[in-house]
A = this chain, B = another copy of it.
């Protein structure tokens, strides 16, 4: 008689963004004449840059020809894309990576969730609160013990390790989703030293690294000395290049990451060759263009556009005297909403047709806070803020 994994039943019935999407869908069905301005999920709105779309189209077209057809590729990814990413890291951060340290995937979400396959289920997992819900949900599915480290106004939503912190694997997300807070070099160095001293692994989610404008802030954990012995980095083209629907991400597993004589790089390769079959060739051809100097310069123009939206939101919150974080080196703005965050979600949706994300969806420390994203047009962002100001000024 088959037995279910009953850890599933400890989860909330649906994933956070499935719940908000359902609520928006239901509202739109009931009030089709009241279009909703979506500033909820972190989905981009600006089309792919033409160079990337052209590369995908050309690769797609070529797949019907003898010369351009590509069957199974390496599960780890195409060498041309690994090399393009390595060149990008060297240029951007001065970080040198070997080709075989870079694993291409269909997105950071899959990798972040799957990477812990390499670890025993009796590890203690350290998760910042609030944070991207995949870390918690994917570990709850495995029945793992979770320890939360609290983010709050006092620590600027950047929790730090402390003497006596019990845990084996820690997730860090910087720039943080949802708070937009970014660890500086000194703070990351403290985390890396703590991990190396205590035999801890850092799973570093750098999905929003492209939004960092402040040159003193690190984009990659591998800018920090000692990180190659304790950290894995996840990144994505979703926010960097608008790939939310195109799907491509990558994971960096340094060769120095060795536990009890076992290379995590080799273990991840074994996992990926067994349970994954590589990223679509046509998508990888598009991704390659993102990492050229010209491609990245074009992508950064789109990011600048989104950051302008963040400024519009920040200005409104300033005018209303509301405390917030993020909005500078991040596409997210995170503010005190002064009430239950799901109630605030319903209020914004019903009264001004603006969809955001309730803070409590990211953890208990998120209660009383709310997230808005900069991934919309200037026009919609301005309109949303006009309505927001009118509503909140009441």
Contacts and interface: CB of A to CB of B under 8 A. Distances in A.
Interface in A54-69: 54, 56-66, 68-69
A391 interface: no
A3 interface: yes
Contacts of A11: 270, 274
Of listed A70, A117, A118, A168, residue having the most chain B CB within 10 A: A117
A254 interface: no
Contacts of A122: 3
A14 B123 CA distance: 25
A2 B123 contact: yes
Contacts of A45: 69, 71
Given A61-B57, A71-B43, A245 B281 contact: yes
A204 to B, nearest CB: 15
A72 B270 CA distance: 29
Report the copy number of this chain in the oligomer.
Answer: 2
A1 B167 CA distance: 8
B245 A198 contact: no
Given A15-B270, A50-B64, 18 more contacts: A3-B120, A5-B118, A8-B118, A14-B270, A14-B273, A15-B274, A49-B64, A53-B61, A54-B64, A56-B61, A59-B60, A63-B245, A70-B245, A72-B244, A141-B271, A244-B277, A245-B278, A245-B280
A47 B70 CA distance: 8
Interface residues of A, number: 89
Interface in A23-49: 41, 43-49
Nearest to A230: B2
